[in-house]
Structure 1
């Protein structure tokens, strides 16, 4: 609607203007009849005239604005639009996906114990098939207590990572990444153990007797292996055949990678300590002659490559839609898209209390923080 229409519809302002006609002064005659001489009136000062013009223009502008606003109020229909500004959560927790990843890892861990029990029955006898030649074994003699150091280092690293994970703010996202990698690596391990059964790497190894067709005995062995966590420290692992590749190397390497990735960069001393635990644990596997060198090397490469590929795709969002992304050709790309579909940014390293503090503790904490700020 034009402004002129609005002005026509508005009430016409009543402006009273007093016009005073000033006639030229009549010359007054003196007593003798001649016109009296008088001096001309001085012209009004120019400043006063300019001030009146300014006041008049301001009056007209104010009146125009007032008229326009009245016309808009009367003739414009306002429609109130409610805009709901939903804050998009770029890092949703989605604990149910974490639960699916946990079940995936749990299934593959249980399936690994089943495969170990099956492969144990196929391991050739030491007297028939001696250990394969290994260059590391040629130069380094066996140390009996070395494998105990490996398992202690592994337990320390896994414990540190568990505590660190509990204090992470985005533990749901990090947890499903960890469970997926554990499940995938142990699934690969099941395949390599089953298709190629290597002889024992040393004469020192004591293997449990074979059960052949005793299905009940095999089930009890599976349960015993699960209850002891597959560790020699607990006395639950007395079977042979799970050599290619090393499960201990997987856990030592994977724990260190997650500890370093999801901890602040300034904690270099913490990273170096965990690195020393990881590397020394892997070396002591070979010093104990519990695995061939190829078992450790393949485990290291499989663990690091899956970790780096996954996090490259997770942290570089352009790759997900890129047609030239060769990492998307992995068989687990669909699982990755399922787990990471709603994660729209890089997961920051933020810590929080795993349990909500009581209100009294929170109030005291705020008082302490307030005192520090002052």
Structure 2
């Protein structure tokens, strides 16, 4: 009886002893708690567990992640609502690399005006040195040997020149970056006419044809020379206006300069898809230059030198302007030109290629701004 009681007491105590032993063992890896059906529960999907452990490190990280997700979502939704504002920031960065600097354009304009005025002075001076046709007949010219003179041909030249200059003026007014392009145009005009002053003064050629009628020489009449200068300026140096009655301005041709330079600027600063416009301007320029020779108003050498001087100066300048790596390159021979300091002054802050963008020269009403877009053409060939 005592033994059975002892055994029963031992059975009753055994579970208690086993429980104590398990608590003394090292902690086993945690198992996910089970629900009534025996499936483990997920900690992340239990809101009560996250609420019970809010003071722990895991809950703090979880709350910070939730806050970051909410912040990212709010920023993305805000960017979608204000996407137009993000697009506007790109031209602002481009404007920093293409500053207008109208005062530099004004300096280039004064440079061009001075050289144009100086050209009229040189023409007046050279006119007094032109030999008489009876003493020095026209020089032999191969083009004149094969092509007879057409009296109305030079009128075609001046009409074509006026059309090209007018087209370029309208196009320049519609360009967005007209300040940068304008000072390039003014600098090239002033430089080419300064070259012309030098060539006219150092070599005075006889008239290219006996049909030419030159105004009488004034010799020491300074007042009469001043009036001739003013008359030449007022008429734009054109025969159409009757202001150009002096001779001696043959080497090289000023009409060739304006016809060629107008076409080069029109083509350079217009979209490539306007090929029909380029061809029209090229026909006007080429036919105008050809009519100079057909009218026997200039020697062939005058036209050839005028074309070479205009195209090379234009291409040299724009090569340096569009190739920014050349500006500081030690082996850049174009930087040895005499006008390189002037180029650095005009183009110092232009840090990228000027895009072809058109805009209205006058501010549009608010109702029209949403209807019209800027016409932009790429430079890809």
The equivalent residue for 2:118 is 111
The equivalent residue for 1:308 is 315
1:244 counterpart = 2:251:
yes
Counterparts in 2 of 1:57-76, with a 5 A limit? 62-63=56-57
Could you tell me how far apart the structure 2 residues matched to 1:51 and 1:151 are?
A: 97
Q: CA deviation at 1:366?
A: 2.0
Q: CA deviation at 1:355?
A: 1.0
The equivalent residue for 1:128 is 135
Could you tell me how far apart the structure 2 residues matched to 1:224 and 1:249 are?
A: 22
Q: Please tell me whether the aligned partners of residues 54 and 60 of structure 2 are also in contact (alpha carbons under 8 angstroms).
A: no
TM-score, normalised on structure 2?
Answer: 0.78
Could you tell me how far apart the structure 2 residues matched to 1:237 and 1:121 are?
A: 14
Q: How many correspondences in the alignment?
A: 318
Q: CA deviation at 1:104?
A: 0.2
Root-mean-square deviation (CA, aligned residues, Å) is: 3.0
The equivalent residue for 1:15 is none
Deviation track 1:95-150 (CA, whole Å, cap 9, x = no partner) reads 00000000000000000000000000000000000000000000000000000000
Could you tell me how far apart the structure 2 residues matched to 1:326 and 1:293 are?
A: 30
The equivalent residue for 2:367 is 363
Deviation track 1:189-231 (CA, whole Å, cap 9, x = no partner) reads 0000000000000000000000000000000000000000000
Counterparts in 2 of 1:1-374, with a 5 A limit? 33-36=5-8, 37=11, 49-51=30-32, 62-63=56-57, 89-357=96-364, 361-366=365-370
Q: CA deviation at 1:33?
A: 2.6
Could you tell me how far apart the structure 1 residues matched to 2:143 and 2:268 are?
A: 31
Could you tell me how far apart the structure 2 residues matched to 1:166 and 1:61 are?
A: 70
Could you tell me how far apart the structure 1 residues matched to 2:132 and 2:197 are?
A: 21
Deviation track 1:62-104 (CA, whole Å, cap 9, x = no partner) reads 438969xxxxxxxxxxxxxxxxxx9571000000000000000
Q: CA deviation at 1:30?
A: 9.2
* SS in structure 2 of the partner of residue 132 of structure 1: coil
Could you tell me how far apart the structure 1 residues matched to 2:29 and 2:345 are?
A: 82
TM-score, normalised on structure 1?
Answer: 0.79
Unaligned runs of at least 5 residues, structure 2: 34-41, 44-48, 62-91, 374-381
Q: 1:367 to 1:271 in 2, by over 3 A?
A: closer
Q: 1:60 to 1:306 in 2, by over 3 A?
A: same
The equivalent residue for 1:16 is none
The equivalent residue for 1:23 is none
